[in-house]
Amino acid sequence: MERGEDALHDFVRDRRLALFRSAFLMCGNRDEAEDLVQTTLVKVVLGWRRLRRLDNVEAYARKTLFNTFIEGRRRFWRREHAYGEMPDRAAPESDSETGMVVRAALARLTPRQRAVLVLRYWEDQSVEATAAVLGMRENTVKSHTARGLAALRAQVGKELV
């Protein structure tokens, strides 16, 4: 393998789990999150030669992940829709009721609100960095954050009371 391929393999190995965690928070479904990460990594691999010239391939991968998620939600009529879910395995014992309630509330938000909240609070990105990743204005990020948090508070409050 040439040096560029080694770097590609290292990148995929090192960033896959972090991308999966963000994808899972947005999707709320392990299988869908894995598909989202796979699609993102395929895009990164296909553009690897061009991407090596970028300063921050990780930022490109993160932006691709969030944009792919939002884009997939826009084309909902092309997707299969499940009417019920049977878990493949039991939930981890460390998963608290609160965590499940928060993930369920996240799933009820719009895709953009979910993407903004995951970037801002899970990945600890600034308003400016979130705006750059999602290709929106800073004020739009702020309004999606405020509306998303208000909706989360309302949902979580109802569920945990």
Asked if residue 105 and residue 28 are part of one domain, the reply reads no
Structural contact between residues 150 and 117, judged by C-beta atoms closer than 8 angstroms:
no
- For the chain, give the mean pLDDT: 80
Asked if residue 67 and residue 126 are part of one domain, the reply reads no
Q: Does residue 112 fall inside a structural domain?
A: yes
Its pTM surpasses 0.75: no
Asked if residue 131 and residue 71 are part of one domain, the reply reads no
The proportion of the chain whose per-residue pLDDT surpasses 90, expressed as a percent, equals 27
The sign of the dihedral angle between the CA atoms of 93, 94, 96, 101 is negative
Closest listed residue to residue 136, CA positions, set 111, 103, 107, 108: 111
User: What CATH code is carried by the domain that includes residue 154?
Assistant: 1.10.10.10
Q: Does residue 91 fall inside a structural domain?
A: no
Residue 106 has a pLDDT of 87
Domain total of the chain: 2
Asked if residue 79 and residue 1 are part of one domain, the reply reads yes
**Residue 23: which domain range?**
1-86
User: pLDDT of 17-68, one tens digit each?
Assistant: 999 999 998 888 899 999 999 999 988 888 777 766 666 788 888 889 988 8
The residue-averaged pLDDT of 123-144 equals 91
In this predicted structure, the answer to whether residue 94 has a pLDDT above a threshold of 50 is: no
